[in-house]
Amino acid sequence: MANGGYWHSHDDWRRVEEPLTTLDRGLLAFSEANGLVLTKNHKDWPERSLTWGADVRYLIQVYLADEKTLTFNFWLCASQDRAAGRYWKSEFLVESRPVAEFRESFPSLLRDAKVKLESWSAAQLELATLHK
């Protein structure tokens, strides 16, 4: 993902974020039903994130993969910060697909993602980066 300040106009932004807005109602309902935190457009990049957890942090994220083709990724990540660095495990459930291709199955993707993430134990996480 880019680090913001990338979009040349409001119309550019609207074009790349619009597919995500069609998922917002389902994301909000899922986050409220499960006590998850919903955030949008981190670092000015079109994305939606659901997070929860204390010891292990769980993340479900849908984000723009390619602005020209308007394709998106549906990504899962479990992470934990330890003395030796950040440990994590991640997986794509959808990779580089238009939202229209997974919009109908989105509610079941969310449920499956949460179940899968919560099945990952801290022992399954691998070292991702070292603290400096």
d(Cα 80, Cα 90) in Å, to the nearest integer?
12
Task: State the pLDDT confidence band at 22, using cuts at 50, 70 and 90.
Answer: very high
Task: State the pLDDT confidence band at 7, using cuts at 50, 70 and 90.
Answer: confident
d(Cα 122, Cα 32) in Å, to the nearest integer?
25
Secondary structure (3-state) at 14: helix
Q: What is the count of structural domains for the chain?
A: 1
Residue 64, domain member (yes or no): yes
Secondary structure (3-state) at 22: coil
> Taking Cα atoms as reference points, which of 39, 33, 32 lies closest to residue 57?
39
Task: Check pLDDT > 70 for residue 132.
Answer: no
Residue 88, domain member (yes or no): yes
User: Which pLDDT score, from 0 to 100, does residue 57 have?
Assistant: 97
Residue 1, domain member (yes or no): no
Task: Check pLDDT > 70 for residue 118.
Answer: yes
User: Which pLDDT score, from 0 to 100, does residue 131 have?
Assistant: 52
Task: Check pLDDT > 50 for residue 66.
Answer: yes
Compute CA distances 86 → 43, 80, 99, 118, whole Å. 21, 6, 31, 18
Residue 2, domain member (yes or no): no
d(Cα 55, Cα 71) in Å, to the nearest integer?
32
Residue 61, domain member (yes or no): yes
**Residue 88 near residue 80, CB atoms below 8 Å:** yes
Residue 3, domain member (yes or no): no
Q: Which domain holds residue 28?
A: 10-129
CA 84, distance to chain mean position in Å, is 25
